[in-house]
Amino acid sequence: METTNHYLLTTINGIPFLLPYGQAVATFSRGLRLNETASLVVESLDHEDPFAWYAGKTGLEPSETKDAQKDYEDFIKLLEAQGCLRRKNPDLPDVNEPLYGTLAIGPLSVRLNGKRHFFSNDFTPFLNGADSEHTEASESSAAIFAEGQADTYTGRASFQETRKDTNTAAAAFSEDQTITVTQAFLPDITGSTLLIRTDTLEVFAHEASFFLRFPSMRNVRLAALSLDGSQACYYVTDPGDEKNREALREDLFHAIRHSFLYMAQQKGFFALHSATILYRGLVFAFSGPSGTGKSTHAALWQQEFRVPLMNGDLSLLSLTKEGEVLFHGMPWCGTSGITTKKTLPLGGVVFLKQAPENRLEPMTPERKILRLHNRLISPVWTPKLLKANLDFSSKAAARIGTWRYHCTKEVEAAHIMKAAVDQYLDD
């Protein structure tokens, strides 16, 4: 159930307010004036059956319950989006760590809490206000959020109007995910179910969360990830000396990717293992297993056709309501160091296979879908997650160019592929 997130419900001259304290003050959050009905919503959260308590207090008739409960729940979501409420999760203990900064990855926003020496410089270009020092940028973005908030919430009769007034600010400045890095005591994962075990990642399912362990990472001990992806907590050991802290930063940077990709998947964003270039205003992705030459092929296009490289290893993809597939840059880019913050339309994906000669292989519609699905690295921990990847692949494959290319790593391979892309675009 929800609980106030560093806000206190109180009254001043008989008027109810939600007033910030602790971390909410540090991040420039603003006090909120409520009317009597709205204050009952907040007060109800302290009770075992919140809505039943609220319904009793407001005198709801049975015929009114269904519509009122939807408004009640929507109002709760609004307060949660504004940062006034958070969901209790027994697997995510209440730890208080300083704000490091907020990442902007495409339209997604990720709040990072923890000591600054835990976070890799690879995050820096994606911090809000990244042109300035990141701590100042974080405070600036928080202040903008406070300015954008409506300071008055009305009651049940005006839930709809309240949402209209405040959704713009919430959408622009509330975080899609909060990631906290802490040295706090590890949660108990007894009774959880093992879903995946590899040399680098173990995933466990629990009643309220997933737990992630990283066997190859010495100082990243565990991560707890809420089922909706909105919260993650990484439990680390601070090695103390700078040399080992650098190793911790590198490990944590890669460990955080798992929780980000899970959250992104919940919101309709999927990660493709690929190297990407920008050509004729569109992003084209070269995808294949490690060692098949995707980076080499992208580099050939840059060399021969002077096209920009977008990301050396990963692409975050989404579908618009109109059916356009978009590419979003993100911090993770393998060892290439090549990335971008831009969002651009995706033109197509080239699925590479090493061969002694260059040859394009026709693909049936189902093979296009399967190729795209197999190259996604978004989580497939459960059947539901697998289906989400497959549904996205089915829709996206029908809206972009797709090629199966058996090729060498010679210059001629890039020219043949460019001719095929030009024909596709011209047609």
Residue 158 has pLDDT above 60, yes or no: no
Domain extent, residue 258, equals 99-155+174-266
Residue 370 has pLDDT above 60, yes or no: yes
Question: 51-55, 370-374, 388-392: lowest mean pLDDT where?
Answer: 51-55
CATH number, residue 311: 3.40.50
Beta strand spans in 304-342 (E): 309-311, 314-319, 325-328
Read off the pLDDT of each residue in 118-146 and give the average, rounded to a whole number: 58
Among the three residues 56, 87, 118, which one is the final residue of a domain in this structure? 87
State how far the Cα of 138 lies from the Cα of 80, in Å rounded to an integer. 20
State how far the Cα of 247 lies from the Cα of 7, in Å rounded to an integer. 37
Asked if residue 301 and residue 249 are part of one domain, the reply reads no
Predicted confidence at residue 296, as pLDDT, reads 95
Residue 412 has pLDDT above 90, yes or no: yes
Residue 161 has pLDDT above 80, yes or no: no
* 401 close to 347: Cβ distance less than 8 angstroms: yes
pLDDT top residue among 156 and 336: 336
**For residue 281, what pLDDT band results from cuts at 50, 70 and 90?**
very high
Please enumerate in sequence order all residues whose Cβ is within 8 A of that of 78, keeping only pairs 6 or more positions apart, or say none: 162, 163, 166, 167, 170
Asked if residue 316 and residue 216 are part of one domain, the reply reads no
Residue 93 has pLDDT above 90, yes or no: no
**For residue 166, what pLDDT band results from cuts at 50, 70 and 90?**
very low
Read off the pLDDT of each residue in 121-137 and give the average, rounded to a whole number: 67
Tell me the pairing of strands 202-205 and 193-197.
antiparallel
Predicted confidence at residue 28, as pLDDT, reads 63
Tell me whether residue 81 is in a domain. yes
Asked if residue 398 and residue 273 are part of one domain, the reply reads yes
Asked if residue 240 and residue 107 are part of one domain, the reply reads yes
User: What CA–CA distances, in Å, run from 54 to 40, 41, 75, 296?
Assistant: 6, 6, 13, 62
Among the three residues 42, 62, 87, which one is the final residue of a domain in this structure? 87
Predicted confidence at residue 155, as pLDDT, reads 38
Question: 30-39, 130-139, 303-312, 381-390: lowest mean pLDDT where?
Answer: 130-139
State how far the Cα of 372 lies from the Cα of 389, in Å rounded to an integer. 9
Asked if residue 298 and residue 256 are part of one domain, the reply reads no
Asked if residue 286 and residue 400 are part of one domain, the reply reads yes
Predicted confidence at residue 183, as pLDDT, reads 93
Asked if residue 421 and residue 331 are part of one domain, the reply reads yes
Tell me whether residue 372 is in a domain. yes
Asked if residue 326 and residue 256 are part of one domain, the reply reads no
Please enumerate in sequence order all residues whose Cβ is within 8 A of that of 317, keeping only pairs 6 or more positions apart, or say none: 269, 270, 271, 272, 325, 326, 327, 328, 346, 392, 396
Asked if residue 278 and residue 256 are part of one domain, the reply reads no
Percentage of the chain exceeding pLDDT 70: 84
Question: 160-174, 215-229, 322-336, 391-405: lowest mean pLDDT where?
Answer: 160-174
Tell me whether residue 185 is in a domain. yes
Residue 154 has pLDDT above 50, yes or no: no
**For residue 139, what pLDDT band results from cuts at 50, 70 and 90?**
very low
Burial of 12 (0-12, 13-18, 19+ CB in 10 A): exposed
Tell me whether residue 161 is in a domain. no
Q: What is the pTM (predicted TM-score) of this model? A: 0.76
Predicted confidence at residue 405, as pLDDT, reads 97
State how far the Cα of 59 lies from the Cα of 73, in Å rounded to an integer. 17
Among the three residues 266, 295, 329, which one is the final residue of a domain in this structure? 266
Tell me whether residue 182 is in a domain. yes
Predicted confidence at residue 157, as pLDDT, reads 37
Read off the pLDDT of each residue in 345-356 and give the average, rounded to a whole number: 97
The total number of structural domains in the chain stands at 3
Torsion angles phi and psi, residue 363, rounded to 5: -125, 140
Question: 71-75, 121-125, 403-407, 416-420: lowest mean pLDDT where?
Answer: 71-75
Tell me whether residue 163 is in a domain. no
Question: 16-20, 154-158, 214-218: lowest mean pLDDT where?
Answer: 154-158
Predicted confidence at residue 151, as pLDDT, reads 38
State how far the Cα of 284 lies from the Cα of 90, in Å rounded to an integer. 43
Q: What rounded mean pLDDT belongs to the chain?
A: 86
Residue 145 has pLDDT above 70, yes or no: no
Read off the pLDDT of each residue in 153-171 and give the average, rounded to a whole number: 37
pLDDT top residue among 342 and 165: 342
**For residue 187, what pLDDT band results from cuts at 50, 70 and 90?**
confident
Question: 63-77, 109-123, 320-334: lowest mean pLDDT where?
Answer: 63-77
Residue 126 has pLDDT above 60, yes or no: yes
Asked if residue 246 and residue 280 are part of one domain, the reply reads no
Question: 10-14, 220-224, 353-357: lowest mean pLDDT where?
Answer: 10-14
**For residue 78, what pLDDT band results from cuts at 50, 70 and 90?**
confident
* DSSP H/E element including 425: helix 411-426
Tell me whether residue 354 is in a domain. yes
State how far the Cα of 137 lies from the Cα of 3, in Å rounded to an integer. 28
**What does the block give as tokens for 234?**
């990484």
| Runs of H (alpha helix) within 206-310 | 242-266, 294-305
Predicted confidence at residue 81, as pLDDT, reads 64
Beta strand spans in 355-400 (E): 359-361
What is the side-by-side order of every strand in the sheet holding 15-20?
Answer: 7-12, 15-20, 32-34, 152-153
Asked if residue 210 and residue 82 are part of one domain, the reply reads no
**b/e per residue 260-288 (b: at least 16 CB within 10 A):** bbbbbbbeebbbbbbbbbbbeebbbbbbb
Residue 131 has pLDDT above 60, yes or no: no
Asked if residue 415 and residue 277 are part of one domain, the reply reads yes
Tell me whether residue 281 is in a domain. yes
State how far the Cα of 93 lies from the Cα of 318, in Å rounded to an integer. 32
Predicted confidence at residue 130, as pLDDT, reads 61
Helix (H, G, I), strand (E, B) or coil at 207: coil
State how far the Cα of 368 lies from the Cα of 346, in Å rounded to an integer. 16
CA atoms within 13 A on the CB side of 115: 13
> CA geometry: angle at 263 spanning 393 and 294, to 5°?
50
